[in-house]
Amino acid sequence: MLTIDQVLKMLSEQGFRITEQRKSLIELFVENGSYLTAQGVYKYMSNQYSGLSFDTVYRNLRLMKEVGVIEQFVFEDGIKFKIRCEDESHHHHLICLECEKTYSIHYCPVQYVPELPDQFQIVNHKFELYGFCKDCQKEV
């Protein structure tokens, strides 16, 4: 997982201002370490900054995603965000639906997708597998 200093450096190197709100947002993701919804981030941030709009929070989440600081995941109950893995190499994830523990998979199945249409160039993809980790299987 990235540190606060690494994230601040990434943002400043790409020319983004480090505002108190952005710093608080980064601290939330780094210190929390788990998946957060945009609404949850807004609730946390609006307690610290009166007058903060949901739109502002969402724009900053989108910026952090574009810069590569946070990752976006689609769960059955909606979109969630998490601080990016420290490993920058191409990888995918196994995600426990109970405790949200995440395991990196350093194997890419896209190379084995049969019969891609001619003249189609893949430029990006995500692959997550959702299930239950060993500890949570005992509880289910």
Examine the domain organization and report whether 33 and 96 are in the same domain.
no
Q: Which domain holds residue 111?
A: 92-139
Residues 9 and 77 in one domain: yes
Kindly report the CATH number assigned to the domain that includes residue 107.
3.30.1490
80: left (phi over 0), alpha (psi -120 to 50) or beta: beta
Number of domains making up the chain: 2
CB atoms near residue 16 (< 10 Å): 15
- Please tell me whether residues 102 and 78 are part of one structural domain: no
Q: If you average pLDDT over residues 79-104, what whole number do you get?
A: 88
Q: Is 44 in the same domain as 68? A: yes
Determine if residue 99 is labeled as part of a ligand binding site: yes
* Residues 10 and 61 occupy one common structural domain: yes
Say whether 90 counts as a known binding-site residue.
yes
83 pLDDT above the threshold of 70: yes
pLDDT tens digits, 15-27: 999 999 999 999 9
Residue 123, pLDDT above cutoff 90 = no
Q: Are residues 49 and 102 in the same domain?
A: no
Q: Is residue 108 annotated as involved in ligand binding?
A: no
85 annotated as ligand-binding:
no
